[in-house]
Amino acid sequence: MNKESVGIVETKYLDISDPIVLDSGKTLEEVTVAYETYGELNKEKSNAILICHALTGDAHAAGWHNGDRKPGWWEMVIGPGKALDSEKYFIICSNVLGGCKGTTGPSSINPKTGKEYGLDFPVITINDMVKVQKKLVDSFGIDQLAAVVGGSMGGMQVLEWIVSYPKMMKKAIAIATTGMSSPQQIAFNAVGRQAIFSDPSWNDGNYYDSCEIPSNGLSIARMIAHITYLSDESMDIKFGRGLQDKDEISYDFSVDFQVESYLKHQGESFVKRFDANSYLFITKAVDLFDLSVNDSLIDGFKDVEANVKIISVDTDWLYPTDQCMEIVTALNANNVDVSFSEVKSNYGHDAFLLEKGQLNYIFANFLSENVVDDLMMEKIAKIKEGSDVVEAAKLMLDKNVTHIPVVSDDDKLIGIVTSWDLSKSIATGTNRLKDIMTKNVEYCHADDAIEEIARKMRKLDISCLPVVDEDMKVLGLITTDQISNLLS
């Protein structure tokens, strides 16, 4: 555990008392939601971020469960000082409906029978998952989330959120995902389900009382899916054609290659932590996911109000950049405030769980609420254009500043003078301020985003910007020192 972690956490449970009417028309009378939270909800209840997990994730997104050897699945972006900063935000992550990590799913007890649901569990949709998350968010008395964030199937939930509850979030980040499952994506899931169906131990979903679980089927389903999470490149880099625990090919059907051994291990360890029926229900929800209306994603996104960031991974072939761009295009067509970033990575789809640096950077910039107004110095020294160099030098010394805006008689910005300019005046023997000041002065406005201004200053290599109003009247100054204090 390192000091940037939220530390020891526990999964909590919410029993939702009112029935959930599902997209299928069926009703779940009792639903329990497993969830975790990190950080504190502020008084205004305005700092909550909801994290949505992928296919086989859970509520444990960050921190450490007592005694565990691994932290939560998105530890790399959640915690003090990280993009999803638990000292700033109240972060919520819940296990999805249909899951097997504490939220009601096919392995939960059906209150009507006193036995596990199995296949009696209703087929659910991504929208149903989101309905349950909404109840959880409501339970905190939160009227609007600061953001909803998720990758892969988590990204689908994010998109469902912005469509179903357009006013419920200020911002949304969807990573490596799609607005509707493609036939290829459906195909991989369908074969995975077929592998489970074909396992005799699956027994039509009734295996909870048995000593045999459908490990073979589930393991094969996981192996298939796992291939789609990796890029060709990452497999080449990781395994190449390396042999597993042997120097030569053995000319039998034992494992020859490292990649075989790795996949087998992935399959075998997965069955220890995941329920086969949950896998069926959740992959089905993914397949059914389609936000288009009248075959149009543009129509599907017409009510979106959130400020949206879509992120793709250049080597992701499961949810490729093209598909992410379709979301961007459809949101753009609705005049939604949407921006797009592509993560450069060898990892393929899995990059959303691995590319710490890029994701923290993109998240932090996008989530930042800071505008120049929050940061600028308002009580600053100004000097009139008619002043002489000696006056400027005295003012600098007096106020201990290196930049002084030069203003006209009606207080409008006409230039800036720096200690460097004053040095020049000595060298050239000039006494008039107008002769040495910078006239084509750069400036910014109070409502500019800090990130944008930081980029501008970096680009122009300047350390101080006057802040002006619409009439060019000087309101204050902003410096790179202030910005770097904020960003660190």
**Which residues lie near a second copy (CB under 8 A)?**
23-26, 119, 122-123, 180-184, 186-188, 190-191, 193-195, 197-200, 216-217, 219-220, 223-224, 227, 230, 232, 235-236, 238-241, 249, 251-253, 256-260, 263-264, 267, 280, 284, 287-288, 290, 317, 320
Tokens of residue 131, six digits: 């309905």
Considering the complex, state which of residue 104 and residue 228 has its C-beta at the smaller distance from a second copy: 228
Pairwise CA distance, residues 219 & 265, whole Å: 9
Tokens of residue 258, six digits: 């490292």
316 labelled catalytic? yes
Work out how close the CB of 220 gets to a second copy at its nearest, in angstroms, rounded to a whole number.
5
- Number of neighbours of residue 112 by Cβ within 10 angstroms: 10
CA 419 vs CA 319, 408, 435, 456, 476: distances in Å: 54, 20, 14, 22, 18
Considering the complex, state which of residue 47 and residue 216 has its C-beta at the smaller distance from a second copy: 216
Considering the complex, state which of residue 164 and residue 244 has its C-beta at the smaller distance from a second copy: 244
Considering the complex, state which of residue 171 and residue 284 has its C-beta at the smaller distance from a second copy: 284
Considering the complex, state which of residue 14 and residue 119 has its C-beta at the smaller distance from a second copy: 119
- Kindly name the residue from 53, 60, 349, 403 that is annotated as catalytic: 349
- Number of neighbours of residue 250 by Cβ within 10 angstroms: 11
Which residue is it, tokens 């069955």? Answer: 271
60 labelled catalytic? no
388 labelled catalytic? no
Q: Can you list the alpha helix ranges (DSSP code H) found in 41-165?
A: 126-139, 153-164
Considering the complex, state which of residue 255 and residue 383 has its C-beta at the smaller distance from a second copy: 255
Angle, CA 157 vertex, CA 152 and CA 161 arms, to 5°: 145
Work out how close the CB of 18 gets to a second copy at its nearest, in angstroms, rounded to a whole number.
22
- Kindly name the residue from 86, 107, 108, 152 that is annotated as catalytic: 152
Pairwise CA distance, residues 354 & 228, whole Å: 15
Work out how close the CB of 282 gets to a second copy at its nearest, in angstroms, rounded to a whole number.
13
Work out how close the CB of 214 gets to a second copy at its nearest, in angstroms, rounded to a whole number.
10
Closest CA to 176 of 360, 68, 327: 327
Q: What is the DSSP string of 141-167?
A: T-SSEEEEEEETHHHHHHHHHHHHSTT
Query: By CB neighbour count within 10 A (0-12 exposed, 13-18 middle, 19+ buried), where does 173 fall?
Result: buried
Work out how close the CB of 342 gets to a second copy at its nearest, in angstroms, rounded to a whole number.
18
Work out how close the CB of 178 gets to a second copy at its nearest, in angstroms, rounded to a whole number.
11
Say if residues 46 and 111 touch (Cβ distance below 8 Å): no
- Kindly name the residue from 256, 275, 287, 316 that is annotated as catalytic: 316
Active-site residue list: 152, 316, 349
